[in-house]
Amino acid sequence: MRGQHSEAGINRRSFSRRAFSWRWEDAVDNDGPESGAADARGRRARRAMWLILLLAIGAAALFFWQQAQRVRAQEAAVEEIVSASYRLWHSAVVNGDLELFLFQQSSQDALWKSGQRDLFLQQRLLNRPELGLLYEVTGEAADIVEVELAPDWQTATVTVDHSYATAGDEQLQRPLHLHQTYFYNRYGERWLLSPGDDEFWGALQRLELGRLNIIFPQRDRLIAERIGADLAGDLQEICDSIPDDPLTCLDELQLTVRFERDPLLLASLRDTFTPVFRGGDFVLPAPTLVGLPQDEAGYRLLYEGYTARILNAMRQNLNPPIALPEEELQLLCFPAEGRSPRLFRFVPASGRWTAELGEQSFRYLMPGPLGDGVILQAFLRGEDAARLRLHWWRDGHQQLIFDQEMQQQTTRPAGWAASDQPRLLLQGIGEAQAAQHRWLDLNSCGPDGCAVIDLPGYTTWSPDGRQTLVQEGQLLWRGDALGRPLAPLGAGLSPFWLDDERYGYVRYDHEAGAPSMQIATAVAGEDLPRIVLPVAELARRLDENNPPLLFINHVAANPGDSDRLLIAATTVGLATAKYTIFSLRLSSGELQLLQQFERLPSGYPSLLTPAGYPPFRVSPDGRWLLVTLLANPSPSTWTFALYDLQEQESLAVSAYYPPYPSQFPFYDWTPDGRWLAIVEDGFLRLIAPAHGYQKLVTHGEGDCLYVAWVD
């Protein structure tokens, strides 16, 4: 058995070796010597093929690397061109070179380019004084952080680091930095600054934070969300501060804040009194337009600059420092889209809105005499479209005061004479295209209207109504109560009364060689002009060494102080006209420059002067001088420039209207001059300027137009 076992073991080992040898021998000996030679040749061929492939790959890699280097070099060259375009724009801004600045702007969007020009003239493109930041001008352009080209190389963004000194904060000894991104478009070989496109800004996002909604472009998501969260917390603190009336707080503090990409909103930041409020929403420039802060101190300044006016407006709405006015407001509002304006009444003390006069439609509304109701122009169609139909609405009674056909009626066919004695004037175009002046006597009315009295020219009545000053063309005279001549005054303009006997006007002086203008006063019955101010003295007040050529547009006595004249004059022949308002003390001859503007005022359409609407309006108490200017045509953006004649301080208020054409802003003073009402896009603004107070009143009556205070 052992032998067999041993033999079996040997046999197994032998079998295994033979099996191994068989497999090996089959692999080697099966083909013979010629097969080995062929295999060697195959290996050499494969090595050659691999070598060729590797060389080809290397050559291709080298080619693509060289191409990539060329592309990168070209890309770097394009980036440098874009950077140079920015540096040129920056140089134009800091050096005040308007021509070069406009040359660096895209003309594709005319409104955007016009807005950029306005920001340039206002020095708001880089400066952020409302945030306590003063731009640091150095010898070189601001540091360019990044230039990013679009894949097609047709657009690019330039991110720049702007350095600012802090104003009024001694704790911050180092400058603050904001990163601002500029969007460029390629036009041929030039790169021009352009408004960012939709891809640049991203889709609008909405964030709900309790009673606060935040709307912002996707590009500014991170910082907008943080601002929203901080603002929601501050609003909650305001509510917590008035625990006795939580429901009022909840109603008042339901608000929406929209960050928009309109660069003109940068100009609105300078209005530290009133937040931008459109359609019931607070509107702010997107953070990308202002600049993104790079540290916590920068964020706090940005946040306070954004939200201080909003928080102050909310506090004032909840805690007014004075009682709301007892007077009520009458307005024309669109009750629904596609419908004509209807008459509404608003009571500030109770917040109540009431529709009046049913379905009647009106084209125009103006205050009645001394707050006694309102004058309404009917909205007529069809065969009556050429008629002028006026109603006097007061104390719940509607009285027809005029209804005649006027084929040549003007834009504003009726208005009050600029006089202490209310006289409703009608103006139109008569035969031979001559101006037609008539007086609508509201003290002599019947069922078909009031008496219409023809006037020889534009007429201003004395306070007692017994005398007149009349202007026809360039000729002036003093007349009786109906304008019939009593004393010729020669060539002039802008007549005004100081009291029942003293009057004044602007006269042309032809004796000085070249015609010049003078402001003169006189006494009725004597009618001898006393020169109180030659135009040359106004010009020297502007520039002693190189006085400009001035034209006096309008002169009026302050209704609260007859010793004080208010004078509007325009520079003539300069590339950039200046509109200046002066004050003159008749008793002392003291001359003051009150305000100066780059644009012409819009006027107040409820008053008439010989030259059209008065360029400024003084509050009934004589304290506030108000000038309105169109800052931006689309959407209609108005600046209300208030000047406190008592404290000699200025206050600017911005107002916004819906995007339909509007020639004039819509506002009115209370008869005592304490409250100013302004109609805006979807809300009312009630301002008591002497108290630095305003109340924002939202409503659901559609867009409103004209407004008037009534007793």
Residue among 273, 327, 321 nearest 620 (CA): 327
Average pLDDT over residues 428-449: 78
What is the Cα gyration radius of the chain?
A: 39
Q: 473 near 493, Cβ under 8 Å?
A: no
- Token pair of 634, please? 């689309």
- How crowded is residue 198: how many other Cβ atoms within 10 Å of its Cβ? 9
CA angle 201/202/206 to nearest 5° reads 110
Whole-number pLDDT of residue 17: 41
Q: 390 near 365, Cβ under 8 Å?
A: no
Q: How many CA atoms lie within 13 A of 85 on its CB side?
A: 28
Q: 239 near 251, Cβ under 8 Å?
A: no
Is this model's pTM higher than 0.95 or not? no
pLDDT digits (tens, 9 = 90+) for 138-186: 656 668 999 999 988 899 999 999 988 876 555 455 788 899 999 999 9
pLDDT digits (tens, 9 = 90+) for 533-581: 999 999 999 988 988 888 999 999 999 999 999 999 998 865 566 889 9
Whole-number pLDDT of residue 29: 47
Q: 702 near 696, Cβ under 8 Å?
A: no
Amino acid at 352: R
Whole-number pLDDT of residue 252: 64
Distance CA 597, CA 602 (A): 12
pLDDT digits (tens, 9 = 90+) for 305-347: 889 888 888 888 778 888 999 999 999 988 766 678 999 999 9
pLDDT band at 703 (very low <50, low <70, confident <90, very high): confident
Three-state SS annotation for 104-163:
CECCCCHHHHHHHHHHHHCCCCCCEHHHCEEECCCCCCCEEEEEEECCCCCEEEEEEEEE
According to DSSP, the residues that pair with 698 across neighbouring strands are: 683
Average pLDDT over residues 426-435: 63
- Token pair of 222, please? 């991170």
Average pLDDT over residues 635-645: 86
Whole-number pLDDT of residue 33: 55
pLDDT over threshold 80, residue 270? no
Q: Exposed, middle or buried, 280 (CB in 10 Å: 0-12/13-18/19+)? A: middle
Distances (CA, A) of 605 to 120, 180, 370, 588: 31, 42, 16, 33
Going along 434-578, which residue ranges are E strands? Answer: 435-446, 449-455, 458-461, 468-472, 475-479, 485-497, 502-509, 516-523, 530-534, 549-558, 561-572
Distance CA 96, CA 138 (A): 14
